[in-house]
Structure formats: C-alpha cells, structure tokens
Structure 1
Amino acid sequence: MAQQLTVSIGQASSPGRKPVNQDFYGALIPAEPLLTTKGIAIALADGISSSDVSQVASESAVKSFLTDYYCTSEAWSVKSSAQRVIAATNSWLHAETRRSDYRYDRDKGYVCTLSALVLKGAAAHLFHIGDSRIYRLAGAALEQLTEDHRVRLSAEQSYLGRALGVNPQVEIDYQSVPVAPGDVFVLATDGVYDHVAHRFIVKALDEHARDLDAAARAIVSEAFNNGSDDNLTVQVVRIDAVPNAEAADLFGRAAELPLPPQFEPRAEFDGYRILRELHATSRSHIYLAADIATGELVALKTPSVDLREDADFRRRFLLEEWIARRIDSPHVLKPRAVQRPRSSLYVAFEYIDGQTLAQWMIDHPRAELETVRALIEQIAKGLYAFHRKEMVHQDLRPANVLIDRSGTVKIIDFGSVRVAGVAELGPSGGDEFLGTVQYMAPEYFAGQGGTPLADQFSLGVIAYQMLTGRLPYGAELARANQALKPRKLRYSPAADHNAKVPVWVDRALQRAVSLDPAKRYPALSEFVHDLRHPRADYLDARPQPLAARNPLLFWQLLSALLALIVVGLLARLHGGL
C-alpha cells in the first residue's frame, strides 16, 4: 500500500524573563500535490536583544518562508526554492532597516537568525543562518547538524557573524540528509540549548513520545528553571513514514489509466475524431485528431502497446504532460487544456502544421549563416524556458524540433527531460541513456547528470550540422562515447566543410561542443550572442594549421610527400648509374 510522508510535530515558545518574545516559529504540512512536490516546511527565527524591532524580522522571516516557498515552481529543487525565498526575505529586511531610524546601526534594525527544515521524499533539507540550532536524535544522543555563526571575543563577549537582514546579500548554510521512520529533529534557540543538557532533551522526547507538544514544553520549562534569561523556543519533528516509490507518483490515479486502443481513421474517442497517424515509434504513437465540439486540431500522443507493463515508462509518459504544463514559451510545444475526463492514457498537444528540423535540413543542406542564426536563437529561447524551471531537455536533436509554416520553432518531446524537483523524489527508472548518442554530451556516458551545459552541447552540434551537413566529431563521437573515450577525438573545423563559415563563428561552435563541459560557455546566451557578434579574440584568430586541426591527415600527407621524394631520389640515383 502506498504511503505518504507523515510527521508528528511538537512546538513550544515563551518570552521567558523578557517582556517581549522575539522568537517566531511555524510549520506547514500542505495537501497533495504540494506534499509530494514541495514537502513539509518547518522554520524557526530568533531576534537579537539589541534590536527593538527584531521580533518583526523574526515573524516576517518565518511567515515568508512558509508561504513563499510553496509559491515557487514545483519543478525547482528544494535548495533553489528555499534559497531564493530566503534571499528575497533578506533583501526586504535589509531594505526596511535602510529606510528606518536604524540605518546607521544594523544591530538595532530588522535582523534575526533563521533555521529551516524542509522534508521532501526521503530527505531532510536544512537551511541555516545565525545561532539557532537544528539537532537530530541519534540513538540516545543529540547530533548538532548546524554550525553557530557566532564570533566569540571572550567568555563574556560575542556577536553574530551572520544573520538575516544585516547585509544586502546573505550566505546560507545548506545540507541534505536522508531520513527514515523514527528520525527526530529538534530546532531550538540559544535561550534553550545554552541551559538544557542533551540528556534532558533525550529523556523528554522519550517520556512524551506520544505528545511532542508536551515534550517541547518540558524542554522550555527546564531552560527557564535553569536560569535562562532569553526567549525560549523549541520545535520537535518526528518522521513517522516516508513515501515509497508508488506514493512519490506525481500523477495520482492518472498513472492507473488503461492504454487506449490502436486508433483508426474516423474513429471517435473521448470527444475527438481521429484523422490520421502522424508519427509512430517503438515507444509512442502520435495521431492528428479534431475536437468534435470545437473543430480544433490536436495531436494525440499515446504510449506504445509494447510498453503496457512498463510502470517506469508510464510515469515518464505522464511526466511529459506535467512538464509541458509548467513551461510557458512560444518555442515549446503546449499541451491542450483538459476539458473532459480521460478514459485512458494519452496526452493532447497543440497541432503544429509544419516539419521537423531534420526534414528541413534535408531540404536545406549547408544553410545560410543568417538562417541558421535565426533558428538557433529560437531553439535557445525554448531551452531558456526549461532551464529557468531547473529542467534539462537531454534529447535535443533535429527530430525533436518543429518548424511551423510561419517559421516559428518549437521544441517537442519531453520524455527525456530531467526535472530537479522531481529528481529529488528518487530514481524514476533504469540507467538507460534517454537521449540520442549523436547529439548527447560526453558527460552523460561518464555517469554525470544532465545540466544546461549538456543542452548547449546538443544545440552546438545542431548548429554545426545545419552549416556543414556533418557532425563536429563525425560518427566517431557515438562510438567513442560508448567506449568512454571521447577525449581522444578532435574537432573538425566547420570551415573545412563550408568555406562560408567565418573563423570566429567556427570558434564559437567549437567552444559550445567542447568535450569538456568546463570549457563550454557558462551561459547559453553567450553562445547565441557569439554566433552573431564577433568576439575580438575570435575575430583576430587565424585558421589553425593542418597539423593541429587534423593530425592524421597531416601525417598522411607528409608521409606521402616523403615517399615521393624518396622515389625521386631513387630514380635519379638509378639514372646516374
């Protein structure tokens, strides 16, 4: 039976001996689908005694984290989502101090510590600034997971070396640890942990295992009784269950839908009339259909019947629609709005009247440079839309790019896309290569995960192929990749196959398809820019000598020349005799 991520939470807070409680805390357990895609968030903030408005900072920090985190994209990783939210909160608090009477004394402004815990799948993600702490119960001992950002000048004097709101930017400590049922996390402010022994906390957690609020209150009371003169706050989180692979399914009961029948022209199905089959592979079929109610043309994509029993493929098939609904770009294929219940497993996409880039390249071998630029720029814009959502396409190739009759380019086929936020939920299938070897970056074959740099490599190969009709490393790249020996290959200059390609454009292509990801452009936009605007160092570059560009051909020609010289010398010697 599938199980969801389930936790028990206990919390307690008191101003202690102070008139105002500058601590603030909270937790949020969302309903599905956010419980799966975003997880459970817990946060604790501690104000500083030198500030009269620090409690405002604490409350703002916690409330912003617990609300804004769930407004970030479901495709983003926990780390990216939380860090962006915390950075935005830090900027706001710093700006409030700058606008206040405390702008010349930051220690009296809108400043606080923040420790946050996000539980997603089978992992805990920790974010920390300041000197509140996060512990984990390990057997009968407490393990401190965070590091205090407090600088101690002496036994009596110290100050916070890092806090939220002090500077325009903030450095956030982050770590991720695996979790299992029974794990217990404790978040506490310094007013508590400085006055309560670890053994007391462990004992309280054991004695009040069925009432974690009572455990938190007991710990707070112990700190007060031991003379703490600070605010006192404790949060206790126990992991009761972690999701299994079935529970981590993003698509609910949709994955249980049966496969549709094999369609024939004029067949009617779920309010659509099938017109004809557009494309078929061993993995899927695509049909042109018309919505009977509106007459709108759509492309219906269905899984192949050969994969009926493949649960991993079914989930990845559904992930395609999930991805498409989170991408908003004129250069990415859009899914059609779901207007009727589905009786089986299929996805309706917008219909594009046009041709694939692969077909276009057959009709336009060695395309003009300006035409290539215009198409590559559109593909890059589509890739930007993926990368902004922390997605990597991983199978960019001419067959997965459509060009409509107006010349607009759209990226299609999301079956290989890697989504950072989904990858955190655990493995979704085997270790097979999901892309196409001729266009795949070499790092995939070394077992490295996909990054935007890998998509850049694929785009560079496509640009090179459009200009030359060839691949930058020939057919050898696929064989070398599979043998894990790609670095022995050498780039074949585009100018050798198309004299119209300027040297500076060739250098841009060479950098984009570098076998070493670290040598590619840091951003895809730089590659696109360099295809149209000559870089000074590329513009002044001279063509490489043949020995550098093609050592094998150089030595073959040199050997042939030497052989001719030897033959000539032998002939002269023979004539002299």
Structure 2
Amino acid sequence: MLVAGRYRLVSPIGRGGMGEVWRAADEVLGRAVAVKLLLGDQADASATARFRLEAQTAARLSHPHLVAVFDFGAWEDRFFLVMELVEGQSLGDLLAAQERVHPEQVARIAGEAAAGLAAAHRQGIVHRDIKPGNLMLDADGSVKIGDFGIAQFVDDPSTALTTAGHIVGTSLYLAPERALGRTADSASDMYSLGCVIYQLLLGKPPFTSDTATATLYQHVDTPPVPLRQRGVDISAAFDAYLLGLLAKKPEERPTAQQVSDWFRTDAWRGRAEPLPAPKPASRRAPSPTRSTAPARVSPAAAPPAPAGPSTYRLPQPTGRRRSTASRSAPARRRSTREAIRRRPRVASAIAGTATFLAAVYLGMVLFSPDSSSADTPSPTPSGPASQGVQDGQGGQDGQDGGDDRSGGQGEQDHGRPDSHEREDDERDD
C-alpha cells in the first residue's frame, strides 16, 4: 500500500483507539519511517486545521529525545503523519515484559523524558498524551517521545471516555486539571510523566478503578500513596520528589527542566545535591569603624562623628593599600604596642606612689605629738644646751635634780653663765 504516492506501508507496528502505526519506506528519500494513520474525517475543517498546525510545530522540534516529524497530510479521507522510525520498544512493551523496572533505569528514563519535554515546552508545545506507549526506547536504550500534537485534537475531554466500564485514551495518566475540563499546559505533561514513573517503579499507575470516571475522580481528589509504603525500594528523596510531580495543583509541580536537572544528579539516590558555584562576593560599603575607602576618610566626604566615645579595632594585616587612612595604620600599630609595653611600668609607678603615700600617712599618725603635749609649747634649746644634751650632761644633771625635767632645767641654768663668761673673755682679749 502506497500512502500519498510516496510512503509504502511495510508492516504494522501497533494499533490503538486513535489510529494505527506502520513501518514504511520513504521511496523518495530512501529511508525507513513510521507512518501513523489517524482516525477522523477530512471534512472536519477544524480538525484538519489543528492537525496541520500541530504537525508543523512538531516538525520544527529537534532534540535527541524527541521523535522527529517529517511529513503530514491526508490520504483516502484519513490523516497521516510521517515520523522518525524508532528501532526498539515502548515503555508499554517494557512493562509487559517485566512488572517493575529497576530504579537506576527509571531515573535515566525520567531524566531523558523530562529533557525532551523541556525542549518542547520551550517552543510552546504541550504533548498532552504522555503515557508508556508514547515513550520509546531505541536500540541504545535512549528515550524518544513520539506523537506530538495528536492528543490536542484527538484526546479531547468529550471523547476521552466511552461507555462506562472501559478506560481508553489517557485517563490513567490524565492530570487533575484536565479531568476538570481545564486547558492543558506544561504542568499537565509533568503530572502524566509522574504517573508513568510511578508505574515503572510499582508495576501499576497511582490510580486505577473499574471505570474511567472513577479513575478521573481519584486524580482530582485522592492523594497518591508513597511508593516506600507500598514496598518499593527507593530513597526517601526519590519518593518525595515523585509525590511533588503528582501534586494536585499545577503550580506546585516542578518544571520539565528542573526534573531533568534533578535526575542528572545523584539526588534521587538520597545524596545531597551539588552546591551551586559560589557567587563573587559583592563589595559592601565599609562600616564607620573601618577606614578602607578613601572617599570616607577625606574631610569633605567624611560623615559627622557619632556622639559618645568611639570604638576602635586592632589593625588587621590586610595587605598594602595606598589610601591616606591606610598609611597611618603603622603609626597606630606602633603606638598600640608601645602603650601595651608601657602598661607594666605605669602600673609599677602607681603602686610605688601609693605605697609611699601610705607610709608617709602612717608615719604622721604614729609620730605626731598627742593632744596633751600640743597645748604646751616645747622649749627650744640653744646650741650649747643641745650640745650638752648630746654629750649626756642633761641626763647627769637630771639624775642630780631628781627627774628628767629638773635635770634639763639645771642644764639650761648652768649653760647660760658659761656663755656669759666666754663673752667676757672675748671682750678682755
């Protein structure tokens, strides 16, 4: 079968409620491609316009984790989309082969899928149909996200559900805001990715029910059970981050770029995230007690001195500086050291002075005459009388007179004639 006179369908790859995918050969360029034939009516002008717009937008995307879109059009009243052929399996096939996926592989898948979504979100494209069947693993195990733009006009809230008891489309991975009929945005893709990660680790999505409607109610109202409580061996950091992806409010979910960056580190293992590179220290205005800026030490620009005593800091070795304030720093350091060396000598001098004053005061108290002798003026001996006292004559006369007072008086009586006799002898000479 030749589609649009160019793409020869070789073998079916898969079939779903929205269409079928074929392996095909591009007979013009001679390469293998994937052709998806969509269910729809070409007469629906609005559907055709939306499909064309989304196909053109997806064709502009180029990223290692996005399936490239090559062509689109209509053939025999059916839409078709030509995409990059991914030789591998989908995550749906992986889950069918093994119930649970190892956390190491899940972390790699999550990081690569988030990186692809981040590239689409930067272009203003919302996938709207993130599920295991749309996440492919190539031969090297790398993630490829496919089917961009299809969910926008096929997976509509009015057509996502069929009769009761049947789950079709993306109800297992539908964000709460979409279940409420609101417009999908990039946060809706992140919620769907969180549901896929949850299923890879546990083997089933976070919310399941007998009907699609009941499942949608759980997306809106029921909080997800942490995986560690369900026996999944992951770190507490991984568990908490996944619950953040499944937040009910879109603004509380991390962005695709944040998720990609987070899984590229070892944070999901429970280890600390690498610290960001330190920012260069900003130069702040120096405090008034420091004189580092020349503008602050100049008289014209100096602020008024604060009231009260100033405080100073001991100078620190900060290297050579050319400001006026820094040239005075050595003098202040020398004066500070000299003041510190003089402190013991000053203290000794003060202590000696205090001791001397105390001794003088004590001597005055001990050797001053008492109050009884202060009233009687003491006799002032003359020179010869004093000489006599020094020679012990006063003591001799005192013994003859009977007491010290009479002896002293007798010395004075005998001393006066002696002085007159000497004066007479001098006159005779």
Task: Please classify the TM superposition score into its range, dividing by the shorter chain length.
Answer: 0.5 to 0.7
- The CA deviation at 1:477 is 9.9
Residue 525 of structure 1 corresponds to 257
Verify the 8 A CA contact 1:357 1:401 in the aligned structure 2: yes
Matched, 1:300 2:32: no
Structure 1 residues 275 and 465: alpha-carbon distance in aligned structure 2, compared to 1, 3 A threshold: same
Matched, 1:496 2:225: no
- Please list, as runs of the form range in 1=range in 2, the aligned pairs for 1:311-322 lying within 5 A after superposition: 311-322=45-56
- The CA deviation at 1:349 is 1.6
- The CA deviation at 1:514 is 1.3
| Structure with more helix by fraction | 2
Verify the 8 A CA contact 2:88 2:139 in the aligned structure 1: yes
- Please list, as runs of the form range in 1=range in 2, the aligned pairs for 1:262-341 lying within 5 A after superposition: 263=1, 270-304=5-39, 307-336=41-70
- The CA deviation at 1:287 is 2.1
Structure 1 residues 358 and 486: alpha-carbon distance in aligned structure 2, compared to 1, 3 A threshold: closer
Instruction: State how far apart, in whole Å, the 2-side matches of 1:525 and 1:455 are.
Output: 12
Matched, 1:353 2:79: no
Instruction: State how far apart, in whole Å, the 2-side matches of 1:394 and 1:342 are.
Output: 23
Residue 432 of structure 1 corresponds to 158
Partner-residue secondary structure (3-state), 1:307: coil
Matched, 1:506 2:232: no
Identity, in percent, stands at 26
Matched, 1:449 2:175: no
Instruction: State how far apart, in whole Å, the 2-side matches of 1:516 and 1:477 are.
Output: 24
TM-score normalized by the length of structure 2:
0.53
Residue 20 of structure 1 corresponds to none
1:213-257 deviation digits (Å, cap 9, x = unpaired): xxxxxxxxxxxxxxxxxxxxxxxxxxxxxxxxxxxxxxxxxxxxx
Verify the 8 A CA contact 1:286 1:302 in the aligned structure 2: yes
Amino acid at match of 1:459: L
1:418-466 deviation digits (Å, cap 9, x = unpaired): 5xxxxxxxx9997536661110110112232212111111111111111
Root mean square deviation of aligned Cα: 3.4
Verify the 8 A CA contact 2:172 2:207 in the aligned structure 1: no
Residue 140 of structure 1 corresponds to none
Instruction: State how far apart, in whole Å, the 2-side matches of 1:516 and 1:491 are.
Output: 13
Q: How many residues align?
A: 261
Residue 78 of structure 1 corresponds to none
Residue 372 of structure 1 corresponds to 106
Verify the 8 A CA contact 1:291 1:298 in the aligned structure 2: yes
Verify the 8 A CA contact 2:128 2:189 in the aligned structure 1: yes
| Structure with more strand by fraction | 1
1:180-213 deviation digits (Å, cap 9, x = unpaired): xxxxxxxxxxxxxxxxxxxxxxxxxxxxxxxxxx
Verify the 8 A CA contact 1:331 1:382 in the aligned structure 2: yes
Instruction: State how far apart, in whole Å, the 2-side matches of 1:318 and 1:457 are.
Output: 27
Partner-residue secondary structure (3-state), 2:48: helix
Instruction: State how far apart, in whole Å, the 2-side matches of 1:323 and 1:342 are.
Output: 17
Partner-residue secondary structure (3-state), 2:51: helix
Verify the 8 A CA contact 1:512 1:520 in the aligned structure 2: yes
- The partner residue of 2:118 within 372, 375, 384 is 384
1:102-141 deviation digits (Å, cap 9, x = unpaired): xxxxxxxxxxxxxxxxxxxxxxxxxxxxxxxxxxxxxxxx
Partner-residue secondary structure (3-state), 1:288: strand
1:524-547 deviation digits (Å, cap 9, x = unpaired): 3333444554489998xxxxxxxx
- Of stretches 529-538 and 385-394 in structure 1, the one that deviates more from structure 2 is 529-538
Amino acid at match of 1:302: L
- The partner residue of 1:462 within 196, 206, 209 is 196
Partner-residue secondary structure (3-state), 1:392: coil
Partner-residue secondary structure (3-state), 1:323: helix
Partner-residue secondary structure (3-state), 1:391: coil
Partner-residue secondary structure (3-state), 2:70: coil
Instruction: State how far apart, in whole Å, the 1-side matches of 2:269 and 2:80 are.
Output: 51
- The partner residue of 1:362 within 55, 71, 96 is 96
Instruction: State how far apart, in whole Å, the 1-side matches of 2:181 and 2:55 are.
Output: 27
Amino acid at match of 1:311: A
Instruction: State how far apart, in whole Å, the 1-side matches of 2:232 and 2:17 are.
Output: 40
Verify the 8 A CA contact 2:175 2:219 in the aligned structure 1: no
Matched, 1:414 2:148: yes
Verify the 8 A CA contact 2:113 2:143 in the aligned structure 1: yes
TM-score normalized by the length of structure 1:
0.41
The structure with the larger Rg is: 2
Structure 1, unmatched stretches of 5+, are 1-262, 419-426, 540-577
Verify the 8 A CA contact 1:508 1:530 in the aligned structure 2: no
- The CA deviation at 1:291 is 2.6
- Please list, as runs of the form range in 1=range in 2, the aligned pairs for 1:242-253 lying within 5 A after superposition: none
Structure 2, unmatched stretches of 5+, are 161-168, 273-429
Verify the 8 A CA contact 2:70 2:83 in the aligned structure 1: yes
Structure 1 residues 534 and 405: alpha-carbon distance in aligned structure 2, compared to 1, 3 A threshold: closer
Verify the 8 A CA contact 1:320 1:415 in the aligned structure 2: yes
Amino acid at match of 2:135: V
Amino acid at match of 2:223: R
Verify the 8 A CA contact 2:114 2:259 in the aligned structure 1: no
Instruction: State how far apart, in whole Å, the 2-side matches of 1:268 and 1:431 are.
Output: 31
Instruction: State how far apart, in whole Å, the 1-side matches of 2:53 and 2:43 are.
Output: 17
Amino acid at match of 1:494: L
Verify the 8 A CA contact 2:55 2:149 in the aligned structure 1: no
- The CA deviation at 1:313 is 3.3
Residue 248 of structure 2 corresponds to 515
Partner-residue secondary structure (3-state), 2:83: strand
Verify the 8 A CA contact 1:290 1:296 in the aligned structure 2: yes
- The CA deviation at 1:509 is 0.6
